[in-house]
Amino acid sequence: MSIQAPRAPSSWQFRTPKQTLLRWLGWFWLVALTVFCWQVMNENTIWAFVSDAPDQAADIGDRMFPPAWGYINNLWEPLWDTINIATLGTLLGILIAVPVAFLAATNTTPSTRFVRPLALLIIVASRSINSLIWALLLVAIIGPGLLAGIVAIGLRSIGFIAKLLYEAIEEIDDKQVEAVRATGASGAQVIDYAVVPQILPAFWGISVFRWDINIRESTILGLVGAGGLGIQLNASLSTLAWNQVAMIFIVILGTVVISEWVSAKVREAVL
């Protein structure tokens, strides 16, 4: 008796025909959605302006060069303000974010049913709204100036710091907590001696990382009146002084590069 060899297909295929069909349908929908969005988005686009753009770009580039080097003397004070907005805003954010993080972490929260959702809501609301929008609101509420910028940066930082910090708290080593608790420590002492030393490096890393982001964001907060370099930028833009704008861009770029370097060094030392 001979054994019938199973018939192998003549060519190998990665996916079954059904999978292939589903994939094609998925891609088709994606393309169709994109084309539809493109049509809706460009309903009111004036294409004459778009085709004119290279000329505009050349014109602006021409006016930007050479940058107004002397203008830098007007920029030292706004730069100092910008750094202060970022630093004080980060401090404000940390002050509020630390308790929120402890309330949001499952292993330190007093109640998972009531307090934790509230803390998570604070985190989500703070994270969803950009600091420029916070600044827009705060300038309308407490008036233009540094204070609005600091509070805006602080409010935006709460969500970021609290989210990363509560994730760090949830990942701590439970044995150390148990060991400290076994000595008869109270709740506050457990947090002080078992939780805090474990999250301290993460805390500094997160704070410096956020400070770096805040320096970037505070350079433009002045566009809506919240102090710092953005105010000068707004003034130069509205008078079409493009060479001053170029100088401001250079200062912003320099500040961002330095703050990124500082933050990278500190994180390297801490982590």
CA dist 271 and 264 (Å) reads 11
What residues contact residue 225 under an 8 Å CB cut-off, 6+ apart?
Answer: 135, 139, 144, 145, 148, 231
Cβ of residue 258: shortest distance to other proteins, in angstroms? 12
Task: At 47, list the tokens.
Answer: 């294409």
Nearest CB to other proteins, comparing residues 52 and 110 = 52
Q: Does 32 bind other proteins (CB under 8 A)?
A: no
Q: Does 224 bind other proteins (CB under 8 A)?
A: yes
CA dist 131 and 138 (Å) reads 10
Show contacts with other proteins in window 91-120 (CB under 8 A). Answer: none
Nearest CB to other proteins, comparing residues 19 and 130 = 130
**Part in contact with other proteins (CB under 8 A); list of ranges 20-28, 82-90, 164-172, 181-189:** 82-90
CA distance readout (Å), 144 to 141, 215, 227: 9, 19, 7
Q: Does 249 bind other proteins (CB under 8 A)?
A: yes
Nearest CB to other proteins, comparing residues 5 and 147 = 147
Q: Does 40 bind other proteins (CB under 8 A)?
A: yes
**Part in contact with other proteins (CB under 8 A); list of ranges 46-54, 66-74, 103-111, 167-175:** 46-54
DSSP-H helix ranges across the chain:
17-41, 47-51, 53-64, 76-104, 115-128, 131-142, 146-170, 174-182, 187-190, 196-218, 229-238, 242-270
Q: Does 49 bind other proteins (CB under 8 A)?
A: yes
Q: Does 193 bind other proteins (CB under 8 A)?
A: yes
Cβ of residue 59: shortest distance to other proteins, in angstroms? 9
Judge whether 193 and 61 are in contact, CB under 8 Å. no
Q: Does 125 bind other proteins (CB under 8 A)?
A: yes
CA dist 139 and 15 (Å) reads 57
CA dist 142 and 144 (Å) reads 7
Residues in contact with other proteins by the rule CB under 8 A: 30, 33-34, 37-38, 40-42, 44-46, 49-50, 53, 56-57, 60, 80-81, 84, 87-88, 124-125, 127-130, 132-133, 136-137, 140-143, 145-147, 150, 193, 197, 200-201, 204, 216-217, 219-220, 223-224, 237, 249, 252-253, 256-257, 270
